[in-house]
Amino acid sequence: MKQGVKIVTIGGGSSYTPELVEGVIKRYDELPVRELWLIDIEAGKEKLEIVGSLAKRMIEKANLPIEVHLTLDRRSALKGADFVTTQFRVGLLDARAKDEKIPLSHGVLGQETNGPGGLFKGLRTIPVILEIVKDIKELCPDAWLINFTNPAGMVTEAVLRYTDHKKIVGLCNVPIGIEMGVAKLLEVDHSRIRIDFAGLNHMVYGLDIYLDGVSVKDKVINLLTNPENSSFVKNIEGQGWEPEFIRALNALPCPYHMYYYKKDEMLQKELKNFNEGTTRAEVVKKLEEELFELYKDPNLTIKPPQLEKRGGAYYSDAAVRLISSIYNDKRDIQPVNTINNGAIASIPYDSAVEVSCVITKEGPKPIINGDLPVAVRGLVQQIKSFERISAEAAVTGNYDTALLAMTINPLVPSDKVGKTILNEMLEAHKEHLPKFFPKVKA
């Protein structure tokens, strides 16, 4: 039997990679990583080298026998992998900027995983993830694929529906961010908090909240009626929920619910940013530049605290926690994206959902919730329909299916507006949409 674990990270030049490395170092006693392969594409080569050098310095400082390999050759890296993590962005941050700006120029919310932006991120990403899965099936068929690439729910849905590789788990930092936020609200250590999560990626609800195993949901909801306590994730500024609404909902919403329950306020805020040239993509670009300047410092041997300003804070730590729980058959409870298998009654059995699961060496076992509260069920089903039709459009490259996906999203006001945005975004992202433009060299 081979010694140690081989982890391959696709999108290794990401600014988040130092957090992944920190997680590997922190858990080395229970997760003996032998090799960490960081893969990127030609356009990400410089970032890969900067991040890779920092990763090597961090591991050297920790005095651990982990080999770090940097490569642009995905297939050679995948051979014999135990875990493959994906954290890539097709088209880089320039594509994200288009996803935000084009819808906003038509008065529609532009956001990375919601509305038209979420559709187009899915259209660009799904064909790539399906190619990666093909390679995994051939080169490391027993490997678990841990996907954090957004839109994580849609990507997990596509892999479950269009491949026979069932060893996929989608992961998001929103649930762990909410847990941390609740711990902070209650002024307790994060390890004492557990939340029953159910819903979809970026559309998940905390149905119950426990402190040391005792429900404190009423207390937390009461604290949430204070506008200052509304938002837990760095990239969405809280605007404060109406106290009566949050009490009646009687569940913990995630920050992305603001785009649906506060459509107007969020759109106005995004339009203001758009007009000032400070959409989220531009903010992130600036943050990334600052981070990579820090990463270049040959004396830096830790993950810099500035990384937590990025919206994905904690997600790499959540990833290593998940990998360790699968590897060690820990049977602890974590919220992940996986096949529903009846966990949520009103979502198809074979669809991807984001739910609290018992994590075993055979993968996540969803905790059965019965059904979602009637007040939230319809919205979750509508977003699941959007994810499924979007995944179908990504796989087929069918224009009509893409327009259908665009129009059924609750953030798009009509088929006519949807068609205008669709046409403009197809043109803008042409080089990354080979299914729609087979003659364009991707």
Q: Catalogue the active-site residues.
A: 256
- The enclosing H or E element of 121 equals helix 115-139
Q: What are phi and psi of 208, to 5 degrees?
A: -150, 155
Strand, helix or coil at 374? helix
Beta bridge partners of 145: 84, 168
Report in angstroms the alpha-carbon separations of 9 from 68, 70, 338, 420.
11, 10, 20, 37
Torsional sign, CA 180, 184, 188, 194 = negative
Q: What are phi and psi of 431, to 5 degrees?
A: -65, -20
The secondary structure of residue 413, as a DSSP letter, is -
Which one-letter amino acid corresponds to residue 13?
Answer: G
* Non-local CB neighbours of 99 within 8 Å, separated by 6+ positions: 110, 111, 112, 116, 117, 120, 121, 281, 425
Per DSSP bridges, beta strands 67-71 and 83-86 are unpaired
Instruction: Output the six-digit token pair for 347.
Output: 């979502």
